[in-house]
A and B are shown apart, each in its own frame.
Chain A
Amino acid sequence: MKVEIALECRGIHHWFGDKRVLGDVNLKIKRGQFLAMVGPSGCGKSTLLRAIVGTHLPCQGQVFLFPKDHEAEGLAVAGPGRDRGIVYQHYSLFPFLTAKENVAVGLMLDQTGIAFRTFRFWKWRKLRRDHLKQAEDFLAEVKLNDAMNLYPHEMSGGMRQRVALAQAMIMKPEIILLDEPFGALDEATREESQQMLLSLYEENQQAIRRGERPPYTLIIVTHELNEAIYVGDRVAGLSQYWDWRKEGFEKCPGATITYDKAAPVFQTKSAKDFTTFTEQREEIRRVVFEPSPPPDRREHVVYWLTNGAAMPSDHAAAASVVNPGEKSR
């Protein structure tokens, strides 16, 4: 079966003055994939997300999206756009809008302009009703029927994050980025939110089985390794601890991908048994978080080597950049 690529980071370098943050980051994400990104504090995970969102473009390298009409050549990210949704840990919702309005605001911004809303008021009113109806349906999907008219400060942390996810999902973006979305939640709420992500993953699987495009491609940045392995079907580690001298750099170019492997897929209803991925968790901790770099990160950046058989030929060449031997400096 042909593998569709949804997003590619090609040779991303980023620096702030003399401080090198990201060095030669290469990443390709399959459509329908849930990639969990882990890494030590300050390794540049948020910088990479900002590069993907397009609010802070990388100093070198490019991010490409592969929407339906640009599947072969891809579209280079030149700024923020509605094809990428984002959910932050804090400030995930507009405080002056209710849950329903927060979800509908994207449709409003995408489909109408200020002039339309001002001068074609009656048409706007009718459209507004449609938007709010769609928002209600999305909120029902994430089991928030009772929170439709609540303001963010009236909701719990878990509810807010679910509304934020619905807000991103309603736009049907190419990719949804979650920046430590459950970091501030208590354990029970966190688990509930993780279950919701697993249910979205199941929707993807069902779509694939029906021969359709999987609706959700997702990158989740998290500090929590258990969460990364549990909700992601692939885990990538971004780390500043790697042997850059061995790979031909004269000074540290910043953090790069030091770990990239598939993760076990869990079902929503299956029991959460952490012992099943203890080994992987320990490996990530050793390779990504330990300040002493692993002797050869190639041993751990193997996702496309072990899962690349199904890759289309035009992507196979580009996939080789994932192998750290080939850098784009």
Chain B
Amino acid sequence: MIRRPIPKSLALALGLASVVFLLGAYTLLARWQHQKNPDDTTIPSWSQIRQGLVTAIEVNARTDERWLLEDAKASGARLFAGLIVGVAGALALGMLMGCFTPVEAWCNPPLSLLAKIPPTAALAVFFVLVGTEGEMYVTMIAFGILPTLAMTIFLAVKEFPEELQFKAYTLGASHAEVIWTIIFPHVLPKLIDAVRLVIGPAMVFLIAAEMLVGSVGFGYTIRLQSKLLNMGVVYPYLALLAAFGFAMDYALYQLQRKLCPWYEGHRS
């Protein structure tokens, strides 16, 4: 039957089986490729992947640096800075738009328009406006996620029941308190949900920009090693990106549960 619930244990077993299936399929594919060409690096064997990981972790004799560490530091700093600026800007803009109709009338048309432009397509504009240094990555991520996030927050504020707003006034709240003490806590879990959703796109913007103009970072190394067909390094990098994205998502989910324990029950 459609949407019939299954036991938790069965759901867990199915989830694990899908991962085992993927790993097994990859192992077979790599073995089949290496039977055709024992020196193949496009579909590396597990030992080649392990070797690639070691290369990325060990101190490189030529550069005297650990690639992975340097890339993680550079990409992480850019991503977090971009996310912080984007989320803060979107929060301020979305709250103001939702609370004050003149701000909504002023900002809604350009924001709706900007939200439709893929930031990766506008890379050249960012290069021209803010150069190709660190600021460019931050600006690109911030501008990339801001319209979507701001619109999400704006809509969440608009959904806030006016009865609760009136009630807050009858309890002695000032306008600032209605915004900060009453509306913001109501919007916070939706903001966290929205941030979880934009982490993926933010990583896409970052990797794309690093591939084009970076001299360090995940995007730069992936592009360089791909050109050398050194997929034994590329695949661990991709796996790390996936793990990082998953960890961020999980951390935000836990943050939401901690800060907004009421939300899940209220939503259901």
A residues with a Cβ closer than 8 A to B are: 50, 53-55, 79-82, 84-86, 88, 90-92, 94-97, 105-106, 108-110, 113-114, 151-154, 167-168, 171, 173
Contacts and interface: CB of A to CB of B under 8 A. Distances in A.
B266 A109 contact: no
Contacts of B5: none
Classify the interface of chain B: helix, strand, loop or mixed.
helix
A53 B168 CA distance: 11
9 contacts: A81-B172, A84-B170, A86-B170, A90-B161, A92-B163, A96-B263, A109-B171, A113-B177, A151-B266
Contacts of B169: 53-55, 79-81
Interface in B122-174: 161, 163-164, 166-174
Nearest to A117: B181
Given A90-B163, A94-B164, A109-B181, A81 B265 contact: no
A82 B262 contact: no
Interface residues of B, number: 25
Contacts of A81: 169-170, 172
A84 B171 CA distance: 8
Contact of B181 (A55, A91, A114, A151): A114
A110 B164 contact: no
Contacts of A91: 161, 163-164, 167
Contact of B262 (A53, A84, A151, A168): A151
Interface of B: 161, 163-164, 166-174, 176-177, 180-182, 185-186, 260-263, 265-266
A114 B266 contact: no
A110 B177 contact: no
Nearest to A154: B265
Contact of A167 (B163, B171, B174, B265): B171
Given A94-B164, A96-B186, A96-B260, A82 B266 contact: no
Contact of B177 (A90, A92, A114, A168): A114
A183 B164 CA distance: 18
Contacts of B170: 53, 80-82, 84-86, 168, 171, 173
Given A53-B166, A86-B166, A114-B181, A153 B265 contact: yes
B192 to A, nearest CB: 13
Residue among B169, B186, B265, B266 facing the most chain A CB atoms (10 A cut-off): B169
Contact of A114 (B168, B176, B263): B176
A82 B173 CA distance: 8
A96 B262 contact: yes
B163 A88 contact: yes
Q: Give the 6 A-B residue pairs with the shortest CB-CB distance, closest first.
A: A110-B172, A80-B169, A106-B171, A82-B172, A91-B161, A91-B163
A86 B171 CA distance: 9
A96 B168 CA distance: 13
A241 to B, nearest CB: 28
A26 to B, nearest CB: 23
Nearest to B262: A151
Contacts of B263: 96
